[in-house]
Amino acid sequence: MSPFWSFAAKMLRYRGMIVASFIMAGVSAATLGAGLVAMKPILEGLLGKNPIGLPQLARDLNSKLSAWAPGWANIPDSVIQKLPDGPSTAVAWIMGSLCVLTAIGATATFFHAYLSLTVVNLTTTNIRRDAFHKVLHMPLKDIVLGGPSDAISRIMQDTAAISGGFNSLLSKAVSQVAKGIGSLIAAFFIDWRLACLALAVGPVLFVIIRKLGKRIRRASKAALVAQSGLYQAAAESLQGLRVVKVHTTERYEAGRFHRMNKDAMRELNRVRTARALASPLVEALTLFAIAGLTLIAINNIRVGVIEASAVIQVIVALGAAGASFKPLTGLLNDVQASAAAADRLAELMKGPTESGHEPSLPKLPRHKHSISFDNVIFTYPAAARPALDGVSITVNHGETVAVVGPNGSGKTTLLALVPRLFDPDMGPEGRRGRVLLDGNDISRYSVRSLRRQIGVVTQETVLFKGTIRHNIAYGSEAATDDSIIAAAKRARAHDFITALPKGYDTMVAEQGLTLSGGQRQRLAIARAILRDPSILILDEATSMIDADSEAQIAEALADFAKGRTSLIVAHRLSTVLSADRILVMNQGKVVDAGTHAELLRRCPVYRLIADRQLLPPVA
């Protein structure tokens, strides 16, 4: 089963509404077919040839029905005898009946669209939810490889495209097919010979639509890939707008976007060509079929085989069928375009899932003894060399360890292994490195129970759109107002928060852009404090703090770190001096470990770092 139909099968969850919408489509089609059949007495009345009244019309209808339906479907004689006679009366009754049928058909059409669109919206919402849930639980390594913009494009853009295909399939196509079938049945009811001649063009139309549909599917997939790249370029430029402006690269970014925009347009134009070609080909073939049918009908009218009124009725019925089936070309093209989006979304849904979320995994006990890295190797996708290359080190509980090293030495990557943002690679000897918490391999335990006992503060502070209270309590659902305020005070954030117009209920803009860098950093520290973690990971946590408060926050963190294991990526000399031990990393390896004085004596890499990288304490 193709990805599109696999996603479409999710609509079957709402079978009741689908069945009801199909019934409404059938009622709408039945009213159309009945209206076409009822044209005969009106045409004969207008043409002035053998006008008949309602009783005779009912008897003729019974005669027709006898060949198509069982006898119980006939109009009873008792009812026929009570019908008013006279051609004018018959036309008036039929016209009134047509008005009632039109009202019924319009009501049925409304409910069909209402129910089918409800099913489409519910299904698309579920698919978008599942896709987002999948991305949230994918390994970070895969998100880094593909880029978050591509995942966002698939979640938003591709699900919207699939929604269009569902709408064309369930709402528009069902309605058009039902009306087309109703019109064809009416045509066969009036004269099956003419109707059969008209259907001869059907196989040719099917071949044309199928070939064009395949071309549209391929082109649509390429267009979606190009639009995903366009989305990524726009997101990068706008998120880094400050950098763009201060480096005066507006022209460069505009040119890059323009080139990618033209690539996307080129792919969309390929879809355009196939779509534009489909409609005129179908129209031309349909016109040729009607022309041939008309010539045949004229010859049969002359020899008295077919009545002129029947020919007009059949042509009108076939015209109604053609008008109903004509949009199917565009609707099938919409389905093909949606199939391309479904392929991309299916690739996302089949991607790997982060391990550690299985319900069967045991919970990891709270950390009390040590954290050990056992022959850890890790390589980023497409990287030339490992970010970590055979790291083995043990950190005791309650110990504060500072990690230093040149840029790209693997400091941040090493700390990212503790909360399992990454998992170690398989070593050359076929053995995977391990991260052990109190001797327990963290890969064998619930990742949720691991991360709940870790507090992380990074240099790149992440805040979400919402209140300050919400941002501090993020990930701590049971936090009380008192605990939130206490955490803010320990992070030296309480004073600036209370000075804001709405205090803790002040809204934070997207990415926290309404706050200064130092204020954002303090909120991130308060968030980590609130979790009451057993392990504290600080990746340049005070890099954005102003000189006046950096010492106070460092003191608060030092007090909070008591009784907890602290892993710190350090760039300040004061942080290094206060650590119990310093790990020196270079090219993915731990090259030495010790105190500041010991490392200055024996480690050339550390001496170079101390001279060139470690910032002096703030004044």
Is there a single domain that holds both residue 344 and residue 462? no
- How far is 45 from 88, CA to CA, in rounded Å? 8
pLDDT digits (tens, 9 = 90+) for 195-249: 666 666 556 555 655 666 666 666 666 776 776 676 667 766 666 655 565 456 6
Tokens of 134: 């999948």
Mean pLDDT of 351-356: 83
Last residue of a domain, one of 326, 349, 372: 349
Residue 297: per-residue pLDDT: 59
Is there a single domain that holds both residue 345 and residue 489? no
- How far is 474 from 26, CA to CA, in rounded Å? 52
Selected residue with higher pLDDT from 407 and 558? 407
Mean pLDDT of the chain: 76
pLDDT digits (tens, 9 = 90+) for 132-189: 888 888 888 777 766 677 788 788 888 888 888 888 777 776 777 766 676 667 666 6
Nearest to 557 by CA among 495, 474, 490, 615: 490
Selected residue with higher pLDDT from 487 and 152? 487
The two counts, helices (H) then strands (E), for the chain are 26, 12
pLDDT digits (tens, 9 = 90+) for 266-284: 776 776 666 566 556 655 6
Last residue of a domain, one of 332, 349, 366: 349
Range of the domain at 492: 455-532
State the pLDDT confidence band at 373, using cuts at 50, 70 and 90. very high
Residue 518 domain-assigned (yes or no):
yes
Is there a single domain that holds both residue 342 and residue 474? no
Residue 31: per-residue pLDDT: 78
Residue 142 domain-assigned (yes or no):
yes
Q: Which of 101-110, 266-275, 552-561 is predicted least confidently?
A: 266-275
Q: Which of 490-504, 562-576, 586-600, 603-617 is predicted least confidently?
A: 603-617
Mean pLDDT of 92-113: 77
Residue 538 domain-assigned (yes or no):
no
pTM over 0.75, yes/no: no
R_g over Cα of the chain: 37
State the pLDDT confidence band at 562, using cuts at 50, 70 and 90. confident
Last residue of a domain, one of 329, 349, 369: 349
- How far is 514 from 233, CA to CA, in rounded Å? 24
- How far is 479 from 230, CA to CA, in rounded Å? 41
Is there a single domain that holds both residue 341 and residue 459? no
Residue 241 domain-assigned (yes or no):
no
CATH number of the domain where residue 506 is located? 3.40.50.300
Residue 396 domain-assigned (yes or no):
no
Residue 287: per-residue pLDDT: 60
* C-beta separation of 556 from 524 below 8 A: no
3-state secondary structure of 476: coil
Residue 307 domain-assigned (yes or no):
yes
Residue 295 domain-assigned (yes or no):
yes
Nearest to 619 by CA among 558, 553, 551: 551
Tally of domains in the chain: 2
CA atoms within 13 A on the CB side of 249: 14
DSSP assignment of 199-248 equals GGGHHHHHHHHHHHHHHHHHHHHHHHHHHHHHHHHHHHHHHTHHHHHHTT
CATH number of the domain where residue 308 is located? 1.20.1560.10
Nearest to 459 by CA among 415, 509, 400: 415
pLDDT digits (tens, 9 = 90+) for 421-460: 888 887 777 678 899 999 899 989 998 889 889 888 877 7
Residue 370 domain-assigned (yes or no):
no
